[in-house]
Amino acid sequence: MNRIDASDHYNESASKTNQIPSLLTIIIDTNPRAWAALGDLLPISKAVANLLVFVNAHLAFGNDSHVAILAAHTNRAVWLYPQSPNPDRNPSSTNGRSNGNGNTNHEQEDVEMTDEDAAVPLTSANKFPQFTQVESSILSSLRSLINNTTSSDLHPTTLVSGALSLALSYTNKITHTFEMPKTSSDPANPTSTTPADTSASSTLHSRILILSVSDSEPAQYIPTMNAVFAASHARIPIDTLSLYGAPTFLQQAAFITGGTFLSAAANPRGLLSYLMFGFLADAEARNSLVTPTQDVVDFRAACFCHRRVVDTGFVCSICLSIFCEVPENAECLTCGTKLALGNYGAKPAVIPRARKKKRKRVNGTTGREETGSATGTPVPIS
């Protein structure tokens, strides 16, 4: 009877049915100039609405699905969800120092960041409470970020490297939270273990998604690539959805970490379709799916001297610094090593081509035919 009604399904152990926790960290490029250029096709309000649908779909997978959202602004990176316990209300003030009124900022203290820190509005019977909490936190934080942005902050660059560093730090913190305690044995009986040690240790599937609307800034090449290599070492894929152009460094980030890079510059209005079909599956589910791949990856680097993206440059053999032109006195600007240029700039030697010897013709034909015979084809005698 158990085989008919499949009641054995309910007798399985909890360890087989538990879902592995999944953390999705989203970095939103909030460059005002870039969003103003996309205002006719995709306003930032509609982009945030589509992004909230994507976040709710990720959270709806299960109770072990978690999300963290950051804003990469022109001069700083700001937490949108969960909200920081010490919001940056006055960016011009120094961190951890007195502001002149006797008050001191405590932004350098290690304060726990939890989901309960967000302001929870009135609950609605038609919306899941966590969805309402995430939406309220994102909208309030974005409104505060826009209100605190002045005309002096309107730079063409975006601090993506700082947002990546915060995302990696938060991921590392959450990973330690889900780690199970190590096994401990009884000194009197080394073979015995505590009941807590018999449970399987849980892992965390984490990934980072960048919503980019601006090009890569050459000045951010070194810190960005340092964060990319750290993510690759931690096996955290970095996905990128570009709404404008194809950022060079983010292409390399997706290639190095095994993430997905998509460019929606041709149709920014299809943002939700790109998010749902290209980035909803986590790293484990992608092993069973056919994910989008990059046909061409821009591997150009930025030079250390002028911060320009170059195709060909000079590389120091000691510290691997890249220069667009030969430094003064042929010395590396980073480590001071004397660079040996060898015969750089000399004209290549031209070797004359050897002339082929002409074979002697016999009876109007060459001595060797296509058949490989040493003599010509015999002519029949009449």
Q: Domain extents for the chain?
A: 19-91+113-181+203-297, 300-344
Confirm whether pTM is higher than 0.85.
no
Superfamily name with CATH number, domain 19-91+113-181+203-297:
von Willebrand factor, type A domain (3.40.50.410)
98 within 8 A of 104, measured Cβ to Cβ: yes
264 within 8 A of 246, measured Cβ to Cβ: no
CA-angle at 26, arms to 307 and 129, nearest 5°: 160
- The answer for residues whose C-beta is within 8 angstroms of residue 275's C-beta and 6 or more apart is 50, 51, 54, 241
d(CA 319, CA 335): 7
Per-residue pLDDT of the chain (382 residues; tens, 9 = 90+): 445 555 554 444 444 446 788 999 999 999 988 898 898 999 999 999 999 999 999 999 888 899 999 999 988 899 999 887 665 544 443 343 434 444 444 444 444 555 444 444 556 677 788 888 899 999 999 999 988 888 877 777 788 999 999 999 999 999 888 876 555 445 555 444 444 443 334 578 899 999 999 888 888 888 899 999 999 999 999 999 999 888 889 999 999 999 999 999 889 999 999 999 999 988 888 888 888 877 788 888 888 887 788 888 888 888 888 888 888 777 888 888 887 776 766 676 677 777 777 766 666 555 555 555 556 667 777 6
DSSP characters over 191-241: T-B-GGGGSPPP--EEEEEEEE-SPPPGGGHHHHHHHHHHHHHTT--EEEE
Whether omega before 43 lies within 30 degrees of 0, making that bond cis, reads: no
Strands of the chain, DSSP E: 22-29, 65-72, 77-81, 205-212, 238-242, 261-263, 301-302, 309-310, 314-315, 322-323
- Answer positive or negative: Cα dihedral of 210, 93, 89, 115: positive
